[in-house]
Amino acid sequence: MAVLGRSSVGPVIQVSAPGSDPLVLFDLPLINSDPVTVNGRSRHGKIVSSFFYALPNVRVYKEWWECLQMWNQEKVHLKKFNELMVAYRVRPTVLLPFWNVAGFVLGAGSALLGKKGAMACTVAVEESISEHYNNQIRTLIEEDPEKYKELLQVIKQFRDEEQEHHDIGLEHDAEAALRGSAAGEGAGGPGDAAEAAAGSGVPLLKGSALLLLGCLLARCCGAAGGGPRRGGARWAAGPRRGALERFHARQLRVSPHVLGHSKAHVGRVVAELVRAAKAQGLQPGPLALSLRGDFVRIGSAYEQHKVRSPDCFDILVPLRLPPHLEPQPRRADEPGPCGAFVCGLRARDGWTRRCRPFVEGFCVELQGRSHLSSGLVLRWFQGHLQRCLGAVRYRLQERCRVSLSACPGQPPTLHILPCSDYVCCHISMAVRLIPAIPLGDALYLTALPPAGPPGALGPEALWGLNASRHEQRLLGWLKEQAPAASCHLKCLQILKGLRDLRGHGLEEPFCSQWGRVLSSYLLKTALFSLLLQGPLEAWDERFLVERLEDLVLYLRDCLRRQVLMDFFLGNSGIPEAVALPRFLKEAAPVNLLSAFDGPTLDLVAFQLISTWIQAPHIIRMYSSPRYLRPAPGPCRHTAEDQQEPPAE
């Protein structure tokens, strides 16, 4: 029994969670099951799963309605205790996979016994549950009834509802089934025993079917169970590793050949557009913004941890300020998104009249000083690229079809659809073009401020700091220092894939919060921090499951503490071999989780551990074509090579 804290409320909540409630426990693995058949009657999974234990052979509306009410009450119990586990920081029991299998077998067995047998089992279990709740109430009253007043009311309500389920079982002839069983055992000879066995509805065929069902369920559910235990022990490491390896190979890993072709094509198209935009940007004169003429490739596609399909890319497009102006970035003082900056401007020759057109077109006034506005720069950038796209589209018409889409407050997206005669890998690509102000030392201010609550400054004045080139340098250094078969990037890919799969089963608004909290940058930051805490030899491919579990537990602890510091801002623990600019070393540390409230982070931490424990089950559930993008078609060159006969 793993409990956080010394109070007795931990065992109360943990034992009252799905492991103690028969309807919830026995039906938990069946909520999304396929149609099943019991006693020759087929019903759909969600209804049968709820009645599999309580009343599988209902024939009248009243009994069906009573069972539906019981099922709805059990769902409320499960939801409430899950919330209490997060509120009181109680870990889920590690015996949950065993209880899933045991509950399913017991539910199926009671269903095969017939209506009276199922209700007799219901009465016995509900009587035990009611006594269990009474013991919990006594424990909390003895400790501190005022402190646990709300929890006591919840347990009392649930106890009364379980007692009501017990009474419903008695109304449906549960005592008659028990009396018949006792009479068959004690009264008479072999003939009476045979009649009792025949009347109870348990022939040899049904018993054999029950035994076979239990064996199959134990075999199938064994791979889905398991999770981190106290002391670092693992469950079912072999099946878990196999499921993760298949998940990575079939759904996450991107073909280097296809990715290389996509990156090369994106580079050529963006280079054409940037050259055209630079040439046209020089015409208005030296007092306006212009493009520097190059671009910087950033993101997972260029850091070797992209997943699924190479159809999305991020490109920084550096801008050039007028020659007499210099950027002066500083942290935003007002409350707002963590890591947000404002960009002041300094005129080398003093603020003269000739600076007024630029200030009026691209700056906002903050505390009596002119600051470069990310919103105004972004709107100019979108319009400038749109004007230049016509000439580029004509030159590229034989290679691909290009278009540009822009949303207010977001960088423009360049859509590329390759022509069949030009690129062998026919994948439509979306390239996000992010305007950036160069600060020197491979640092950029981007017109893409971090997500978070709006501050008093407003989003128009805020900028984000981008240090992607230093992240790429750190990854290169880690690749040199780590073993040749290191799995650190593979762990990051698998964790991103599990995050995306789990998001399919969550409802709004928590689904959006789940994705924002566990962003790719936050996962990458946690990986960097964990990599430098121990020897890099421990990240060998042989220890994939162990290192992935360490990463999940490290993230869980950070979410519970509500602290995960940015890896580059003000971090003095970065190896000296990775030279950082002075601006990053002297910057104030930034907590990446400060923009989220405590209950949200606690719920994400709980869901993260649940996702890791049920990883094989989640992979099987959400790996259908309904949730996956279509895989890119085979490359024409690769197909031709495979069809070419071997040389003599």
Instruction: Please identify which residue in the block is written with the tokens 């869901």.
Output: 607
C-alpha to C-alpha distance for 378 and 362, rounded to whole angstroms: 10
- 36 and 174 inside one domain: yes
User: Is residue 248 included in any domain, yes or no?
Assistant: no
- pLDDT tier for residue 400 given thresholds of 50, 70 and 90: confident
- The amino acid at residue 615 is A
C-alpha to C-alpha distance for 316 and 373, rounded to whole angstroms: 18
Residue range 623-633, pLDDT digits in tens = 766 555 554 45
Q: Which residues pair with 296 in a beta bridge?
A: 316
CB distance 381 to 447 below 8 Å: yes
C-alpha to C-alpha distance for 587 and 467, rounded to whole angstroms: 13
pLDDT at 117 over 50: yes
Rounded mean pLDDT, 438-465 = 74
CA atoms within 13 A on the CB side of 581: 14
User: Is residue 633 included in any domain, yes or no?
Assistant: no
User: Is residue 230 included in any domain, yes or no?
Assistant: no
- 461 and 326 inside one domain: yes
What range defines the domain where residue 594 resides? 469-621
- 602 and 570 inside one domain: yes
The residue ranking higher by pLDDT, 193 or 263, is 263
C-alpha to C-alpha distance for 508 and 618, rounded to whole angstroms: 19
Residue 547 has a pLDDT of 93
C-alpha to C-alpha distance for 317 and 388, rounded to whole angstroms: 14
CB distance 310 to 259 below 8 Å: yes
User: Is residue 243 included in any domain, yes or no?
Assistant: no
Q: Read off the tokens for 520.
A: 């790719």
pLDDT at 321 over 60: yes
pLDDT at 145 over 70: yes
- 272 and 203 inside one domain: no
Asked which of 466, 492, 522 is the last residue of a domain, the reply is: 466
pLDDT at 526 over 90: yes
- pLDDT tier for residue 557 given thresholds of 50, 70 and 90: very high
Q: Which of 292-296, 387-391, 402-406, 512-516 has the lowest mean pLDDT?
A: 387-391
- 449 and 493 inside one domain: no
Going by their DSSP bridges, the two strands 312-320 and 429-440 should be labelled as parallel
**CATH label of the domain that carries residue 597:** 1.10.1410.40
CB distance 568 to 467 below 8 Å: yes
Residue 209 has a pLDDT of 55
Residue 307 has a pLDDT of 79
Reduced to 3 states (helix: H, G, I; strand: E, B; else coil), residue 329 is: strand
Asked which of 442, 466, 490 is the last residue of a domain, the reply is: 466
Residue 160 has a pLDDT of 85
- 61 and 122 inside one domain: yes
Give the DSSP per-residue string, 425-493.
S---EEEEEEEEEEEETTEEEES-PPSS---TT-GGG-EEEE-HHHHHHHHHHHHHHS-TTB-HHHHHH
C-alpha to C-alpha distance for 639 and 237, rounded to whole angstroms: 37
C-alpha distances (whole Å) from 168 to each of 171, 173, 286, 341 are: 5, 9, 85, 64
Asked which of 202, 221, 240 is the last residue of a domain, the reply is: 221
- 582 and 445 inside one domain: no
- 215 and 275 inside one domain: no
The residue ranking higher by pLDDT, 128 or 452, is 128
User: Is residue 375 included in any domain, yes or no?
Assistant: yes
Rounded mean pLDDT, 102-126 = 72
Q: Which of 30-39, 87-96, 234-243, 367-376 has the lowest mean pLDDT?
A: 30-39
pLDDT at 24 over 90: no
CB distance 53 to 106 below 8 Å: yes
Residue range 151-189, pLDDT digits in tens = 888 888 888 888 888 788 777 776 666 555 544 444 444
Residue 43 has a pLDDT of 32
C-alpha to C-alpha distance for 254 and 119, rounded to whole angstroms: 54
How many percent of the chain have pLDDT more than 70? 66
- pLDDT tier for residue 415 given thresholds of 50, 70 and 90: very high
Rounded mean pLDDT, 536-544 = 91
Residue 34 has a pLDDT of 31
- The amino acid at residue 373 is S
pLDDT at 56 over 70: no
pLDDT at 233 over 50: no
Q: Read off the tokens for 367.
A: 């505390």
pLDDT at 319 over 80: yes
- The amino acid at residue 621 is M
Residue 361 has a pLDDT of 84
How many percent of the chain have pLDDT more than 90? 20
C-alpha to C-alpha distance for 343 and 460, rounded to whole angstroms: 11
Going by their DSSP bridges, the two strands 36-38 and 41-43 should be labelled as antiparallel
The residue ranking higher by pLDDT, 3 or 503, is 503
Q: Which of 54-63, 425-434, 442-451 has the lowest mean pLDDT?
A: 54-63
- The amino acid at residue 5 is G
CB distance 388 to 280 below 8 Å: yes
**Length of the chain counted residue by residue:** 648
**CATH label of the domain that carries residue 308:** 3.30.460.90
The number of distinct structural domains making up the chain is 3
The residue ranking higher by pLDDT, 63 or 402, is 402
User: Is residue 187 included in any domain, yes or no?
Assistant: yes
C-alpha to C-alpha distance for 409 and 379, rounded to whole angstroms: 8
- 533 and 426 inside one domain: no
C-alpha to C-alpha distance for 206 and 213, rounded to whole angstroms: 10
The residue ranking higher by pLDDT, 143 or 515, is 515
- pLDDT tier for residue 507 given thresholds of 50, 70 and 90: confident
- On average, the pLDDT of the chain sits at 74
Ramachandran angles phi, psi of 148, nearest 5°: -105, 35
Residue 356 has a pLDDT of 78
C-alpha to C-alpha distance for 151 and 143, rounded to whole angstroms: 13
Residue 514 has a pLDDT of 94
The residue ranking higher by pLDDT, 372 or 220, is 372
C-alpha to C-alpha distance for 424 and 345, rounded to whole angstroms: 47
- 421 and 547 inside one domain: no
- 196 and 259 inside one domain: no
User: Is residue 585 included in any domain, yes or no?
Assistant: yes
User: Is residue 409 included in any domain, yes or no?
Assistant: yes
Residue 413 has a pLDDT of 93
Q: Which of 47-51, 361-365, 455-459 has the lowest mean pLDDT?
A: 47-51
Residue range 387-397, pLDDT digits in tens = 888 888 888 88
Contacts of 454-457 with C-beta under 8 Å, sequence gap 24+, read: 454/336, 455/332, 455/334, 455/335, 455/336, 455/337, 455/340, 456/334, 456/335, 456/336, 457/332, 457/334, 457/336, 457/342, 457/366
The residue ranking higher by pLDDT, 236 or 291, is 291
- 112 and 36 inside one domain: yes
Rounded mean pLDDT, 372-383 = 90
Sign of the C-alpha dihedral, residues 604, 608, 614, 619? positive
